[in-house]
A and B are shown apart, each in its own frame.
Chain A
Amino acid sequence: AQSVTQLGSHVSVSEGALVLLRCNYSSSVPPYLFWYVQYPNQGLQLLLKYTTGATLVKGINGFEAEFKKSETSFHLTKPSAHMSDAAEYFCAVMNYGGSQGNLIFGKGTKLSVKP
């Protein structure tokens, strides 16, 4: 079975500071991993995904994530936070169990950006 754990339900950074949102996964097969962002009262938007190949994945809005198999991690980073990055971020893994195709989500991390 697959699962993801997001460390920290709330993260606060200053504008211009590094953003680091942590995600660890558990999977018995090579995982497909995702980061989604949710702005208030909106649905989820795909930031980036890892399937195979290059372990450093670049996404939209300047975000990137690195797949580290040895650490079972897929942390999301952005060098310089903007006020517009304030949102909730979800890490997810694709389910290869009984329902191939659905996503299994972490609990989410709410990012606040201080001016």
Chain B
Amino acid sequence: GAGVSQSPSNKVTEKGKDVELRCDPISGHTALYWYRQSLGQGLEFLIYFQGNSAPDKSGLPSDRFSAERTGGSVSTLTIQRTQQEDSAVYLCASSDPGLAASGTQYFGPGTRLTVL
């Protein structure tokens, strides 16, 4: 079946602009995660959605970052007023109810964001 998909695959933007990154999880997966992968910081957790529960936003680095998940499926990560330090690969992962508790996650290919 189809895996986790993300769009766009690459995004180049100018400092100060807003960007939206999209994630389509595997059908039926109720858990959805966003991570950021950068040279200096490695892989960092950003935000976690589980079903209809309030998302865990504890990993968001600043209030310029936000995410939503509509209809329990597609998620959008929004970065407002982008800064050069936001340049990174943004990875989305999903998990099904049975596997989420054991930590197994399926990752998308990522969106490479470059802020000029």
B-binding residues in A (CB < 8 A): 32, 34, 36, 41-46, 49, 51, 90, 92, 94-95, 98-99, 101-108
Q: A107 and B56: CB pair below 8 A?
A: no
CB within 8 Å of A: which B77-116 residues: 91, 93, 95, 100-110
Set of chain B residues within 8 Å of A108, measured between Cβ atoms: 42-43
- Which of chain B's residues have a CB closer than 8 A to the CB of A51? 102-103
| B56 in contact with A44 (CB, 8 Å) | no
Chain B residues in 8 Å Cβ range of A42: 109
Say if the beta carbon of B50 comes within 8 Å of chain A: yes
The complex places the Cα of A102 from the Cα of B45 at a distance, in Å, of: 7
Out of A95, A102, A106, name the residue touching B42 (CB < 8 Å): A106
Contact between B48 and A43 (Cβ–Cβ < 8 Å)? no
* Chain B residues within 8 Å of A, Cβ to Cβ: 4, 31, 33, 35, 42-45, 48, 50, 56, 58-59, 91, 93, 95, 100-110
Q: Decide if the interface of chain B is mainly helix, strand, loop or mixed.
A: strand
Please tell me if the beta carbons of A95 and B45 are within 8 angstroms of each other in the complex.
Answer: yes
Give every chain A residue within 8 A of B95 (Cβ-Cβ): 101
Instruction: Using A41-B109, A90-B43 as known contacts, say yes or no to A102 and B102 having CB atoms under 8 A apart.
Output: no
Give the shortest distance, in Å, between A94 (CB) and chain B (any CB).
4
Assess whether B91 is in contact with A49, with CB atoms less than 8 Å apart. no
Total CB contacts across the A-B interface at under 8 A: 66
Asked if A105 and B107 sit within 8 Å, CB to CB, the answer is: no
Given contacts A102-B56, A103-B103, A104-B45, 9 further A-B contacts (CB under 8 A): A34-B103, A41-B109, A43-B93, A49-B104, A99-B56, A99-B58, A102-B59, A103-B45, A105-B35
Q: Is the CB of B4 within 8 A of A43?
A: yes
B91 pairs with A43, CB closer than 8 A? yes
Complex Cα distance, B31 from A90, in Å, reads 21
5 residue pairs A–B, Cβ–Cβ below 8 Å: A32-B102, A44-B107, A94-B102, A102-B45, A102-B59
Q: Is A101's CB under 8 angstroms from B108's CB?
A: no
Is B107 touching A99 in the complex (CB atoms < 8 A)? no
List of 9 A-B pairs having minimum Cβ-Cβ separation, nearest first? A43-B107, A105-B43, A94-B103, A99-B56, A44-B107, A102-B45, A107-B42, A43-B109, A32-B103
